[in-house]
Chains A and B, each alone.
Chain A
Amino acid sequence: MARSGRSAQKGVRRSPKRLVLGVLIFGFAALIVAQSAPQISQFFNPVRASVGDRLGGGEQIGLWARLTGRAAQEQRIRELEAQVRDLSRYKAAAISMADRLEAYEEILNLLGEPPARGVTARVTSESEGPFAQTLLANAGRSQGVEPGSVAMNEGGLVGRVIQLGERSSRILLVTDFNSRVPVIGEVSGVHAIMQGGSTSSGTLTDLPERSDFIEGERILTSSEGGAYPRGLVVGEVHKSGNDWRVKYAMSDGSSGYVQLIPPPTVERPISAGDLPALEDGTSASPTQGARR
């Protein structure tokens, strides 16, 4: 191969830029390692959140639209988008309520889920890089989104909010390798954990030994663990070799909007020490309460 001979000429006087480059690479590598400590990685969260706000929360009319006299049109488009968001919220709420009503009719005295509340937001960017698979939506804390909110689209479950800014939310997709969703078969009632890792289908793990899913049945969230409400459509189950795989329902919806539903809240049980004292001075136990 042809050699330019530059290295031989330059070998005598080493440039300090090499040292600078080496120090920079070493410094950034050290920074990466240091972020394994949560205290240090949390230090960058405000930066990420504020950049997310800038990227995701751009609702003001741009300079170009003002210069070209299209500000009124842009304004009208924003209004219509807001209406679509509202309507899609009502549609999703209606579907969700119909499903629940059916379940309530079957099982009487069931403690129902809280009524659907939520914010519909536009997906402004999508990161399909080698790291976490996330979406950025243009609604945040100031629009009423809560940490851990559940994201849905027209098809079904999309993911969970893992980072919250004032006007933006970052959603970890159910397709991400680190995503785990407790699910239940709609017909079979079999419980399992759905693990992400592929863009088209998730793998079902932790299956019971004796029962099995029914080919093609819908898979819903089971609300175990308290991260997701019960009954959200996740997808359709199919057998693939020895594994059961879920074809994501969210792939059916691609309007670019997600509904952010607050995570379910389960009240902590009152500890025995905080229970009201009985007349003889001893505190009541849960069994005693039940007997009375």
Chain B
Amino acid sequence: MPASFLTRRRQSLWAKSGPTPRLLFGSFLIATVGLFGLTRNDIFGLSFAWPHAALWGAVGWGRVGLSIRPMIILIVFGAIQDVIFHAPMGSFEVVNLMTYAASTAISAEFDVTNEPLIAIIATTLLFAGAFLLLWLMASTLEDHPVRLLPLIAAMLTTGLLYALIHKVFDLGRRPGETVGQAS
């Protein structure tokens, strides 16, 4: 039996799936985490920092280049976050889209897929930048410096969870690429 056939047969369902199912699954995961985030976040006296799950999508989906569908999904999640956090409409949309744009720009400049160190540094910078932007925006709009501790807790939770599940937000191919072209 040819070796290429065996390799193809060993491929998982996730490896074979294209950007659309991956995008849908990632969105489902973000929505699920967001839904749990709506419930009370203290259990048995312990307070949990729920992750800003939409940033996973912004960082992960941006790694394969710009595309319209992730932008729309990020805007929808941003609007939901605005309502939940009682923020002025547009705040989380800007944070999500800026992070998406930064992720795209970094992946266009550097090889984030084959260089683990660059991938880790880029991801860390993206999350730190996103939360810094959020803090700046919230402090400006609320007319006072808002508390940093909950944001840092949320950033750590978001970053740590992303490290575990980042493959879910890998779309696999750049927009317009066919299966054979994907690197």
Contact = CB atoms under 8 A, between A and B. Distances in A.
A125 B89 contact: no
Contact of B111 (A3, A29, A254): A3
Interface size class on chain A is 35 or more
Given A29-B94, A177-B142, A125 B39 contact: yes
B101 A25 contact: yes
A17 B134 contact: no
A72 B63 CA distance: 49
B68 A17 contact: yes
Interface stretch (A40-48, A80-88, A232-240): A40-48
A291 interface: no
A52 B38 CA distance: 11
Q: Which of B66, B90, B115 has the most CB of A within 10 A?
A: B90
5 contacts: A28-B75, A35-B89, A55-B84, A177-B142, A198-B147
A272 interface: no
Q: Which of B45, B86, B100, B151 has the most CB of A within 10 A?
A: B86
Interface of A (DSSP majority class): mixed
A130 B150 contact: yes
A212 interface: no
A10 B42 CA distance: 48
Contacts of B75: 24, 28
B86 A130 contact: no
B96 to A, nearest CB: 9
Contact of B41 (A6, A52, A128): A128
Interface of B (DSSP majority class): helix
B141 A131 contact: yes
Contact of A2 (B85, B115, B154): B115
A29 B90 contact: yes
Interface string B45-89: 100000000000000000000111001000100100001111111
A134 B82 CA distance: 13
Given A2-B118, A44-B89, A128-B150, A177 B144 contact: yes
Interface in B128-159: 134-135, 137-139, 141-142, 144, 146-147, 150-151, 154
Contacts of A197: 147
Contacts of A220: none
A168 B75 CA distance: 25
Contact of A131 (B98, B107, B138): B138
Interface string A23-45: 01100111110010000010010
B86 A131 contact: yes
Given A2-B110, A18-B66, A28 B97 contact: yes
B89 A32 contact: yes
B38 A17 contact: no
A177 B68 CA distance: 38
Given A2-B111, A3-B111, 18 more contacts: A2-B118, A4-B107, A6-B107, A6-B108, A15-B66, A17-B68, A17-B175, A21-B66, A25-B94, A47-B83, A48-B86, A55-B38, A127-B86, A130-B134, A130-B139, A132-B142, A163-B86, A254-B45
A21 B71 contact: yes
B97 A21 contact: yes
A17 B90 contact: no
Contacts of A130: 85, 87, 134-135, 138-139, 142, 146-147, 150-151
Contacts of B86: 48, 127, 129, 131-132, 134, 163, 170
Q: Which 4 A-B pairs have the closest CB atoms?
A: A130-B138, A31-B90, A129-B85, A28-B90
A123 interface: yes
A131 B111 contact: no
Nearest to B88: A35
B57 to A, nearest CB: 15
A20 interface: yes
Interface in A217-258: 254, 256
B72 to A, nearest CB: 9
Interface in A82-132: 123-132
A256 B40 contact: yes
